[in-house]
């Protein structure tokens, strides 16, 4: 069932252009947004997004999208904190629960807490028959297909795609997006499977870089804006399957502490598309290089032309319109974790101490 791949994770990473295409056909048929009628963001004061692990990082990316594209205040929290905090919830709000399995105990408990408090509960799930899907007012399938590897990959990018469609719908409902801008965003989203195929072409290069990464004790991931949560996701992926200690930081936080960790032995992976914050991220990257940190810069052609000097290595991604880069850059982040784990000889699909679905608190 691994279709010739050595691990399910490799197969699931490679499947992303196809499953993303399926999700696009569902949510953007004929290039138009297609979301359930009841999902009307017009009169909301707030959104709350709750999840665990990788699904939480998808929510963290989406927060940038809902705020920027729809002007909608957006709270995010990990379910294990949210449920016991028992936060006040505005009635004019939606609570959105993101879960691959739809069975994560803390996320389900958070949903049950919200039922009577908010206007609508919304599930973004891979398993449409799951508890979370059944108990929410509206359930949106991510259409990733069965995900076997404990490390979530294709579910993450499909979660992002569904959340992107929701953020655009929110922007339209609230009159925050001009029609021409909407068209541009939809065109970019529809181009993603093709761009992902190009990104997957970096596999061999990444396999070579992973030989060095596999020797590291600690690895840092840096990103800004919506690339910050992707840095967190890259670090989570790497630590769960390669057992190397990894942390993600917002680039601008570096000088508030983590820069003390930098020396020749610490690879630093910088996720930096050539966007409006690029120069700021590059100056953080230069601070790392000045302390002999080994930088792997992942950027597009423009970014690499401007900032490759002094880096240990670079990876070239196709360029992609600003807010959507995390969907594309998930691919090299996943491949880096995968090949580093393979180089270390760990059990990639069944990493120690982890379960695919966490149904205990």
What residues line the site for ligand M6R (CB under 6 A)?
52-55, 99-101, 104, 107, 150-152, 240, 354, 357-358
Packing angle between helix 154-173 and helix 53-70, nearest 10 degrees?
20
Q: In sequence order, what are the residues at sequence separation of 6 or more whose Cβ sits closer than 8 angstroms to the Cβ of residue 300?
A: 273, 274, 316, 317, 318, 319, 320
> Which C-beta is closer to ligand M6R: that of 69 or that of 333?
333
> Which C-beta is closer to ligand M6R: that of 55 or that of 192?
55
> Which C-beta is closer to ligand M6R: that of 33 or that of 109?
109
| Of 242, 237, 234, 239, nearest in space to 214 by CA | 242
> Which C-beta is closer to ligand M6R: that of 99 or that of 284?
99
Burial of 190 (0-12, 13-18, 19+ CB in 10 A): middle
Sheet holding 93-99, edge to edge: 74-78, 46-51, 93-99, 120-125, 138-141
Q: How far is the CB of 242 from ligand M6R (least distance, A)?
A: 12
> Which C-beta is closer to ligand M6R: that of 80 or that of 188?
80
> Which C-beta is closer to ligand M6R: that of 24 or that of 78?
78
CA distance 174 to 166: 12
The SS3 call for residue 324 is: helix
Contact 182, 172 (CB under 8 A): yes
Q: What is the DSSP string of 321-340?
A: -GGGHHHHHHHHHHHHHHHH
> Which C-beta is closer to ligand M6R: that of 236 or that of 304?
236
356 catalytic per annotation: yes
Task: Give the count of beta carbons closer than 10 Å to the beta carbon of residue 125.
Answer: 29
Task: Give the count of beta carbons closer than 10 Å to the beta carbon of residue 112.
Answer: 14
Helices (H) and strands (E) in the chain — how many of each? 13, 10
Q: How far is the CB of 150 from ligand M6R (least distance, A)?
A: 5
Q: How far is the CB of 55 from ligand M6R (least distance, A)?
A: 4
- Write out the H or E segment, with its range, that includes residue 6: none
Tokens of 50: 């709750």
Q: How far is the CB of 354 from ligand M6R (least distance, A)?
A: 6
Contact 7, 348 (CB under 8 A): yes
Residue 298, strand partner residues? 271, 315
Q: How far is the CB of 70 from ligand M6R (least distance, A)?
A: 24
CA distance 146 to 158: 12
CA distance 209 to 340: 8
Q: How far is the CB of 182 from ligand M6R (least distance, A)?
A: 29
Q: How far is the CB of 58 from ligand M6R (least distance, A)?
A: 9
Reported residue count of the chain is: 361
Q: Tell me which residues are annotated as active site.
A: 356
């Amino acid at each position: 069932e691994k279709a010739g791949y050595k691990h399910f994770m490799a197969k699931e990473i490679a499947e992303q252009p196809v499953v993303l295409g399926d999700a696009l056909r569902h949510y953007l048929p004929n290039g138009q947004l297609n979301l359930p009628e009841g999902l009307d963001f017009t009169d909301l004061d707030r959104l709350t997004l709750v999840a665990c692990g990788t699904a939480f990082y998808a929510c963290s990316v989406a927060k940038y999208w809902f705020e920027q594209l729809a002007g909608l205040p957006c709270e995010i929290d990990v379910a294990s904190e949210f449920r016991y905090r028992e936060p006040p919830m505005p009635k004019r709000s939606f609570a959105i629960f993101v879960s691959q399995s739809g069975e994560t105990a803390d996320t389900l408990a958070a949903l049950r807490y919200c039922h009577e408090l908010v206007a609508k509960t919304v599930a973004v799930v891979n398993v449409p028959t799951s508890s979370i899907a059944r108990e929410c007012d509206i359930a949106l399938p991510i259409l990733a297909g069965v995900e076997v590897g404990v490390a979530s990959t294709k579910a993450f990018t499909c979660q992002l795609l569904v959340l992107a469609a929701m953020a655009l719908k929110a922007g339209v409902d609230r009159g925050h997006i001009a029609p021409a801008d909407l068209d541009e965003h939809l065109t970019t989203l529809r181009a993603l499977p093709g761009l992902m195929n190009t990104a997957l072409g970096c596999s061999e290069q990444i396999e070579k870089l992973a030989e060095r990464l596999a020797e590291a004790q600690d690895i840092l991931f840096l990103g800004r804006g919506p690339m910050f949560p992707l840095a967190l996701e890259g670090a989570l992926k790497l630590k769960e399957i390669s057992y190397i200690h990894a942390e993600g930081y917002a680039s601008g936080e570096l000088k508030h502490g983590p820069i003390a960790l930098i020396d020749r032995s610490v690879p630093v992976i910088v996720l930096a598309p050539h966007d409006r914050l690029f120069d700021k991220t590059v100056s953080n990257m230069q601070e790392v290089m000045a302390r002999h940190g080994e930088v792997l810069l992942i950027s597009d052609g423009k970014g690499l032309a401007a900032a490759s000097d002094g880096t240990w290595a670079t990876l070239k991604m196709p360029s992609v319109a600003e807010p959507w880069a995390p969907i594309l850059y998930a691919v090299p982040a996943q491949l880096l974790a995968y090949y580093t784990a393979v180089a270390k000889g760990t059990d990639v699909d069944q990493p120690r101490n982890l379960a695919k679905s966490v149904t205990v608190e």
